[in-house]
Amino acid sequence: MTTELSADALSGLLEQARKDYQDLAGRGLSLNLTRGKPAPEQLDLSADLLSLPAGRHTAADGTDVRNYGGLQGLLEIREIFADVLQVPVGQLLAAGNSSLELMHDCLVHALLSVLPGAESRWVDQERIAFLCPVPGYDRHFALCERFGIEMIPVPMTAEGPDMAVVERLVAEDPAVKGIWCVPKYSNPDGVCYSDATVARLAAMSAAAPDFRIFWDNAYAAHHLTDEPAEIADLLAACAEAGNPDRAFVFGSTSKITAAGAGVAFFGSSPANVQWLLGNNAKRSIGPDKVNQLRHAMFLRDADGVRAHMERQRALLQPKFEMVARILETELGGTGLARWTDPKGGYFVTLEVPDGCAKEVVRRAAQAGIVLTPAGATHPYGDDPRDATIRIAPSYPGLAELEQAIEGLAVCVRLVGYEQQAA
């Protein structure tokens, strides 16, 4: 990434960066770019949810949503999201408010009760490992750490995880029980898995009979351009390849309607769905069907979701464009940074010279700009190159975002030129 500079040129750039940083630190900023949260204006788009279901308490099939039962979730909300998540409606569960909870529960259930196709529970095995495409989502990694599941990093490519590495590890090592995938507009680098990647994931041979793909399609409908990305249907590909029980599909309305107050979904093969329903039956007498009805009334159908996501896009796209514009103006041609230009999702990945990410984050924090900790995008918080920074532009307003990204660029110049001068 670095370009050669003469000693004079470098010292001039470093002096300027130091001055800019002093100015920045003197401004008393208090800005936060850490988590991918919707901004209040995005939440306002779903304000009608707060007055629904407006006295109605009967679902389309006559179910009284105020009462217990209906573990699979309301048909009308499953019908809307079957299309969005590429899961046949009969194999889709509508559950609680969080897909992360469903992922957590699937891990716990797999540890404690035998999965379809498995010989024993995961907890009875000496070693359990998951493949973790990097950079990835810190909360996936936190779940693995929580349950003592070893994490094996796999590099990402522009088409998804490096499949040659994935195929070798999954074929050779029976302790490899799963892989984390965010297949569309991945967190954090915005990658969309290619059809070839999906086909290889579905068809590869696995040493573990109970190998599972945790397909976290959190950004299935979250486009930032006129050309929504389409990904191949993993569940169908697994069935066709003779591995029908391989995929666990997750999704939620957290970044469609209300974050943490939406509806989460699980889709899989009939055998896996029965396995999860059986386990969930011990855990709950039924999901919050009032919320599910409210969501079905508000979103109406898959076209309703698409129209709603266009309104989300109108709010988000200018923020992503602003990030790209400032990074280009401030860092383009310096050789100090590369960044992603995502076509959807919630994040921009900024890559700085090796050994600089932690220091950039530290300097930014000192100047009042809080970023996701460097390393969070890697298992055990350890980015071996110390080069990846995740930017979450959704929450701040445009004026704050502008200040934050300009400030971040100053920190990158400061740390990058300091390293070159050292």
Name the residue nearer to ligand PMP (CB basis): 72 or 254.
Answer: 254
The token pair that represents 14 in the structure block: 């470093």
Query: Rule CB under 6 A: is residue 98 a binding residue for ligand PMP?
Result: yes
Does 36 bind ligand PMP (CB under 6 A)? Our answer is: yes
**Residue 138 is a binding residue for ligand PMP (CB under 6 A):** no
Nearest approach in angstroms of CB 99 to ligand PMP is 3
User: Does residue 216 bind ligand PMP (CB under 6 A)?
Assistant: yes
- Are 360 and 352 in contact by the 8 Å Cβ rule? The answer is yes
Please tell me the count of residues contacting ligand PMP according to CB under 6 A. Answer: 13
Q: Note whether 94 binds ligand PMP by CB under 6 A.
A: no
Looking at the Cβ atoms of 134 and 356, the one nearer to ligand PMP is 134
Residue 178's SS3 state is strand
Closest to ligand PMP by CB, 138 vs 383, is 138
Long-range CB pairs of 322-326 (<8 Å, 24+ gap) are 322/393, 322/398, 322/401, 322/402, 322/405, 323/348, 323/391, 323/393, 323/401, 323/405, 324/348, 326/402, 326/405, 326/406, 326/409
Rounded to a whole number of angstroms, the minimum distance from the CB of residue 403 to ligand PMP is 24
Quick check: 84 binds ligand PMP (CB under 6 A)? no
Q: Counting contacts by CB under 6 A, is residue 254 touching ligand PMP? A: yes
**Per CB under 6 A, which region of 44-52, 73-81, 96-104, 354-362 contacts ligand PMP?**
96-104
Cα separation, 264 vs 58, whole angstroms: 21
- Contact between 215 and ligand PMP per CB under 6 A: no
If the CB atoms of residues 252 and 269 are measured against ligand PMP, the closer one turns out to be 252
Ramachandran category for residue 132: left, alpha or beta (phi over 0 → left; psi -120 to 50 → alpha): beta
Instruction: Yes or no: say if 121 and 111 are a contact pair by the CB < 8 Å rule.
Output: yes
Contact status: 192 vs ligand PMP (CB under 6 A) = no
Reference 297, options 252, 249, 251, 257; nearest CA is 257
Binding of ligand PMP by 266 (CB under 6 A): no
In 292-358, beta strands by DSSP E: 338-339, 348-351
According to the binding rule CB under 6 A, does residue 182 interact with ligand PMP?
yes
Token pair belonging to 362 = 């530290």
Kindly tell me which residue out of 81, 130, 137, 417 binds ligand PMP, with binding defined by CB under 6 A.
Answer: 137
- Pairing type for strands 129-134 and 176-181 reads parallel
Q: Is 85 in the site for ligand PMP (CB under 6 A)?
A: no
Q: In what order do the strands lie in the sheet with 388-391?
A: 338-339, 348-351, 388-391
Positions that interact with ligand PMP (CB under 6 A): 36, 98-100, 137, 182, 187, 216, 218, 252, 254, 260, 264
